[in-house]
Structure 1
Amino acid sequence: MTDDHVYLHLSEAAAGPEGEARWAYGTGFADPLLGVDTSVPPGVDGADLAAYCLMLGDDALVLAQRLIEWCTRAPELEEEVALANLGLDLLGQARHLLTRAGQADGSDRTEDDLAYWREEHEFRNVRLVEAPNGDFAFSIARLLLFSTARHALYLRLADHADPVLAAVAARGAKELAYHQEYAASWTLRLGDGTAYSAARMQAGLDAVWPLLDELFTPHAVELRLGVDPSCLRDGVLTSLAAVIGEACLTVPTIPPLARVGGRAGRDGVHTEALGPLLAEFQVLARAHPGATW
């Protein structure tokens, strides 16, 4: 058993000082928001901050659901454990971001209110994260694109004026660095494997590439908060090209997915895939409103 075996990370190497395994974001670690002032800082518009936290939180929440869908379906048991834990990392980020949205806009809506009781058009995630999983190569390609772009963004947000957003981003960047490494390792393994695995990996990249551009398209809310994701485009594309090239694959040249009337996921315009995902995700809470467990 090698030092980088997943079960060692989940048990021995990742155990906390009390011996508790660090299975997911928020367990076995100190609270990243411990001691952080949760009041909206001067000069930051609460409504804009809430809207932006919804964007980031919805991205993480929806992709977490897609990753969890790989349980019992991944190629190996070890990958089921790994993908589930990546999903739990994202779920932890989503919980903090959705909670911050309810604080910032003064509505006091909880993470559960925002996760379970909004309709499809009220979600603000990019369309990349809602696409059905497809095969394993498709999901790895999506994870590679998303984690590379989101890691770069979180490194910038770690210095944001809002201390809560900054704390979540600083913590999330560490997790996303591992997500990026995991996706890159599988891209290399499949791309530089057999002719069949390379073809599947290339097909996965080709399928998700049109959905990448939305991560770099600035929304008015982002710009008002001093965040311009378009500044990340060149660096992210360079990083992706390096991984794709090392995997003996080709960087896709497929144009971005068209926006609908100039609107996309950040504006609540989604693909037909989001509705069924939310129906499955929200069914228990809606069947038993007010229940706790």
Structure 2
Amino acid sequence: MPSDNPFEALSEQSDDARWAFGTGFDDPLSGIDPSVPDGVDRDALAAYCLMLGDDALVMSHRLQEWCTHAPELEEEVALANIALDLLGQARLLLARAGVAEGKGRGEDDLAYFRDASDFRNVGLAEAENGDFAYSTVRLLMFATWRLALLDRLTFSADPVLAAIAAKSVKEVAYHRDHAALWTVRLGDGTALSHDRTQRALDHLWPLTGELFATHEVERRMADAGAGADPSDVRDEVDAVLDEVLARATLRRPEPVPPHLAGRDGAHSPALTALLTEMQSLARAHPGATW
């Protein structure tokens, strides 16, 4: 990236093939070569970017729901910024998915005009917020897992996906560290905060098995050197979570076997309710701009 100033960078050209910001607000991939490289299956790339983009989009919406509800103003700003980071990642990934599939669908079409059964996000992202401890533990799990995947994707054979990952790694590292600090503060805090955090951990833990299950699309992408096999990151994710939970004086639940659900379009009613809210304006006024 040619400038450390993001506002200047928006108007600058770049010869760096890994630069994924583009030059316009309407097209997040403006200014880069969108062609799919040889050896990477176009359909698999589109499906894979859809999975990663849906994870980010749905999790972003859940965090946005904390606006005006966070326990303090500073945390409200922090959660809003994390949500915006994930929304930016979703834009890039959904735009990449649309280009790769070649059906003329853009990021808005994929975000606003698909039903719940067409979404490919993991269940952890769509779970309802619960209390602040619940959302904090969920963010810790999600960010730790996503960071491990993105770190591997910086070496993707698809230069666009590699560029998106390189940008996102810096953001998600902050997300993970922010959630870890709050988890320790709550877990090793008062008896009430400890009990609520442990309860959140116990409730959310069954959803972690899905994070490490390998979908056929993920396997194909990994074999092509363009994706990351989620089963390969389990030890790394477990090591980070073990350290945080130990410092938070929290008891780690029993391991959960890998299983597929959201990647195949199986979702809870919570996602349907989330999409009804998120998509309502776009569906009421299709094609509108403002």
Distance 1:228 1:273 in 2: 27
Paired residues of 1:206 and 1:254 also in contact (CA < 8 A): no
Supply the AA of the counterpart residue of 1:32. Answer: A
- Counterpart selection for 2:206 from 197, 205, 210: 210
Structure 1 match to 2:47: 51
Q: Does 1:185 align with 2:186?
A: no
Distance 1:27 1:144 in 2: 34
- Counterpart selection for 2:164 from 156, 161, 168: 168
TM-score (norm 2): 0.88
Supply the AA of the counterpart residue of 2:237. Answer: V
> How big is the shift at 1:285?
0.3
**Local SS of the residue matching 1:225:** helix
Distance 1:238 1:139 in 2: 21
Q: Does 1:32 align with 2:28?
A: no
Q: Does 1:98 align with 2:99?
A: no
Paired residues of 1:147 and 1:180 also in contact (CA < 8 A): yes
> How big is the shift at 1:32?
2.9
> How big is the shift at 1:213?
1.5
Q: Does 1:137 align with 2:133?
A: yes
* Structure 2 stretches lacking a partner, 5+ long: 23-30, 223-227
Supply the AA of the counterpart residue of 1:230. Answer: S
> How big is the shift at 1:256?
5.6
> How big is the shift at 1:212?
1.1
Q: Does 1:284 align with 2:281?
A: yes
Percent identity between the aligned chains? Answer: 59
Structure 2 match to 1:13: none
> How big is the shift at 1:246?
0.7
Structure 1 match to 2:269: 272
Paired residues of 2:245 and 2:251 also in contact (CA < 8 A): yes
Structure 2 match to 1:250: 251
> How big is the shift at 1:252?
1.4
Paired residues of 1:53 and 1:98 also in contact (CA < 8 A): yes
RMSD, aligned CA: 2.1
* Structure 1 stretches lacking a partner, 5+ long: 1-15
How do residues 146-157 of structure 1 correspond to structure 2 at under 5 angstroms? 146-157=142-153
Paired residues of 1:93 and 1:168 also in contact (CA < 8 A): yes
Q: Does 1:108 align with 2:104?
A: yes
Q: Does 1:65 align with 2:61?
A: yes
Which string of whole-angstrom CA distances, capped at 9 and with x for unpartnered residues, describes residues 15-59 of structure 1?
Answer: x749x699xxx899x963446421000000000000000000000
Ranges of 4+ aligned residues in structure 1 off by more than 6 Å: none
TM-score (norm 1): 0.87
Question: Could you say if the C-alpha distance between residues 78 and 104 of structure 1 is closer, same or farther in structure 2, counting changes exceeding 3 Å?
Answer: same
